[in-house]
Structure formats: structure tokens, C-alpha cells
A = this chain, B = another copy of it.
């Protein structure tokens, strides 16, 4: 029998999804699940962070709390929902100072307030290792929910914000470079709740997810869930100059940071072509079209006139 380490997160999830019975309108497998509450859907998501995988040693307790809330609200944002609140389960070593726990809670609370939500409850237990689990709730009108499936051939593919900044923060920390905006992006990601609500209310967004494990990996997931493939253009992907600088200083390609690292928690979404002008005038600089959906073929990346197959890799747990 294989171990989780041999399988990797994606295969684990795929295998489990086949076995879970769910009658929910949106069950396990999307950014969040949806429960029918009459005139709206309640969306619910859970995400855990453990010290090994998610917490660089420079991270403050407040940032750990912020991160826990942010990754959860990012999933709520990806569904086009308005956050209600969060419950947090914290497994902490006995030796943890109470002031640390209080700072973590302050981080959760501050992130919640930043998206108009609040702490609903929690649980704290003893464990040799720090593990924090959050579950966030949101609400969305039934006809306004955004899912990972729904993209049609011809739809435009777009992202909010810029990509690669969190990766630049990670490499600047590990290599001792100076990139404060990257470090802030890495340690205090902003859930794109306002953007998610704007995409949802526009009525022209056909699919959506958050980019947690890298753009390439998310493009493949959207492609698989929607049954289309995407051609994206490197020149259209918004990348800040700090990202190019850090990549350069590390002897890496900026693609590595912008496409294959993750941690930016931006939204990746598709747009009905007829609705593009309207959405553009609404979102302005908060979105960038990076490609288009096609009926079949592989997911491709065009760079400098040359089209190649987009690599299907990114950050994956248990690997």
C-alpha cells in the first residue's frame, strides 16, 4: 500500500473524492463546498497550515494567524461569495506562550475584519507540533456562485493582481536578498474578496479559482474541471519588476517564480467574450487577460513568438 508521501496531494485528493458521497449542490473538489440555504448558498471551506510546510521561521505569530484566515477567505473569494466568518482550531505545544496564541488570534481577527467578517469560534488543543486549521463561511446568491467548471471555448482567461511576488519574497528570504514587498506578499497574502464579489456580480465570469499552488498548476485544474484547454501568453502575465530582479539575482527565470511557485492567492478566472469590455471597465487595472480557452489540445504557453506546452507543476504537499 502506498504512502501519502509517494502519492502527493493531488492524487490523494482525486482518490478520496471518488469515495465521498455528497448531495451538496457543490461538493468536495471545488475551492469551497456549497450548502443550499433557500435563497442563497452557504459556502464553506477548510484549510490547514502546519509549521513545516507553511511557516518560514521569520513569520510572526500575528502573520501566522493572518495567513490561516487569508488562505481560507481566499477560497471564499474564489466562489464569488461574501465572507461571514471563520472558526479556528489550533493545535499548539504546551510550551507556547499565551502571548503567542493571543497574537495569532489577533492576526485571524485583523484579516477577518479586512474582509468584513469575524471570528465565530475556535478550539485549542495540545500537540507537539503547531497545526492550525481554519474553516471559513460565506454567502452568495445562487445564480452568482463561481465554480471551477463553466469555462467555454473562446472565453478569455484572466487573473487579478500580479504574479510571482510571493515567490520573490520566498527566494529573497532564503538567499538573503532585499525584497520587502515580496516578503510582505508571501507572509501576509490578501484574500481577493472585493475582486471575487465584483467578478461574481458581473454575471460574465464563467469559472474561477484561487491560485494557491502556482499559475500553471491552477490553469491545469481549471482546464480539467471545465473540459477546455488554455493558451496563455507570457507577455500578458503581470509581473512586477522586483520579481524579475529577484529571479535575476538568483539565476532563475522569472517564469519559475510567476508560473510555478504559488502563494500569491490571486484569482484565476474565465470571461464570456461578450462581457469582456464591461468587466474591463469595471475592474480596470485589477485584472489582466492572459490567455484564451480552446476546445481541445494541450495547455500552452506562448513566449517570444514560440509556443510550448505549459508544464503541469507547482507547489504540492506531501511531495
Binding site for B on A (CB under 8 A): 1-5, 7, 9, 12-13, 15-16, 19-24, 27-28, 32-33, 35, 37-39, 42, 44-50, 52-53, 84-85, 87-99, 101-102, 105-106, 109, 118-129, 131, 133, 135, 137, 317-318
Contact = CB atoms under 8 A, between A and B. Distances in A.
Nearest to A13: B124
Given A42-B42, A52-B128, A317-B125, A89 B92 contact: no
B42 A37 contact: yes
Given A47-B89, A129-B128, A120 B22 contact: yes
A153 B307 CA distance: 78
Nearest to A15: B98
Contacts of A124: 4, 9, 12-13, 16, 317-318
B1 A98 contact: yes
A38 B135 CA distance: 22
B28 A122 contact: yes
A244 B193 CA distance: 57
30 contacts: A2-B98, A3-B95, A4-B96, A4-B101, A5-B94, A13-B124, A15-B98, A16-B101, A16-B105, A19-B105, A20-B109, A21-B109, A27-B120, A28-B120, A28-B122, A32-B121, A33-B121, A35-B85, A37-B38, A38-B38, A46-B88, A47-B123, A48-B89, A48-B133, A52-B128, A87-B135, A91-B129, A127-B131, A128-B128, A133-B133
Given A4-B94, A16-B102, A135-B135, A121 B35 contact: no
B3 A48 contact: no
Contact of A102 (B19, B45, B123): B19
A44 B137 contact: yes
B84 A49 contact: no
Contact of A99 (B1, B9, B50): B1
Contacts of A22: 85, 118-120
A101 B14 CA distance: 13
A224 to B, nearest CB: 18
Contacts of A27: 120-121
A112 to B, nearest CB: 9
A110 to B, nearest CB: 11
A7 B102 CA distance: 13
Given A28-B121, A127-B129, A137 B35 contact: yes
A169 B2 CA distance: 33
A12 B49 CA distance: 21
Contact of A24 (B38, B85, B101, B133): B85
A134 to B, nearest CB: 8
A91 B131 contact: yes
A44 B87 contact: yes
B1 A119 contact: no
A10 to B, nearest CB: 11
A3 B94 contact: yes
